[in-house]
Structure 1
Amino acid sequence: MDIDVRELTTYHISDDGKSVVLNLVDEAGRLTSLSFKIAELGNLVMTLPSLIEAALRRQFRDTSLRYAYPIGSWSIEEASDPTSLIVTLRTKDGFGVSFSMARGKAEELGYSMSKGGTSPSAIVAH
C-alpha cells in the first residue's frame, strides 16, 4: 500500500514513550497516520538524510549536492563515558541532532574547522 503524503499535520507520543504516531493528509485529502516504535523511528531518522541526498543527486545528476541545514547553535557536553563528548547541532527553528564523539575525534574536528578545510580521514558509514 503506497501513501502519497501531501502534508504532515501533527504527532503524538504514547504515554509510555515507547511509540510515536505521525498524522498526515494523503494526496486524496484523507487523514491517515503512521505508527512507529521508537527503535524503528530511530532507524527511519538515520536513513532519511542519505535518502534525501541520493534523491537530489539523481534529480540534478550532481554527486556533489548535499541537503544542508544552517546551524543556529551548538553545544558540547560531557558524556557518561569519560572518553567521549556529546556534540549537539541545532537549527534556528529547533531541529537538532546529537552525536557521541571520542575526544580525539573532537580535537581533529576542531583543528580541521580552525584551518577551514576538511579532515584527511576517510568517511566511514556506520
Structure 2
Amino acid sequence: MLSLINLAWLKPSVRRVRLSFLPGLQVDFMDRDVAIGQVVEWSERSTRYPVVIFGPEGCGKSAFLRQAAEVLREFGYDVIYVDVAHMNLIAHTDVNEVVKKLIEVVSECPVLPKSSLQPSHKHNQGITK
C-alpha cells in the first residue's frame, strides 16, 4: 500500500507554522491543515508503508515536509528530517553501503543514543548483494 499526497489540490485553512530557512529568514506557512492532519494521523497509526509527496516544481513539497516535521515535534514526536535536496547523493549498488550511509545520517540526530545506531551481526545476516 502506497500513500500519496498531491500538494496541488489542497484546500486552505488557518493553521500557521513558522520555519527558519536561513539565518534571519523565517517564513510563515498556512493553508495545509488537511495534509498536516494526514501526516499526524499516519504518525498515530505508526504507518509502515511509504508515503510519496508529489507536485509541480516550486509548489512547496520540501517546505511541506519541514512543516510536517515541525508540527510533529509540537505533538511530542522525535522527528528525523533529512533534506536530500541539499545532500551530496552517491549512487550505491551495495546494500551494506546504503545501510552504513543511513546510519551515518541518522547518527547526526541528537535524540537517538549512539549505541542504537550500531548494526548488529544479527541484522546483517539477511543483507546480501
TM-score of the alignment, normalized to the shorter chain, above 0.5: no
Query: Which structure is richer in relative contact order (CA contacts within 8 A, separation 6 or more)?
Result: 2
TM-score, normalised with respect to structure 1: 0.25
Higher strand share: 1
TM normalised by structure 2 equals 0.24
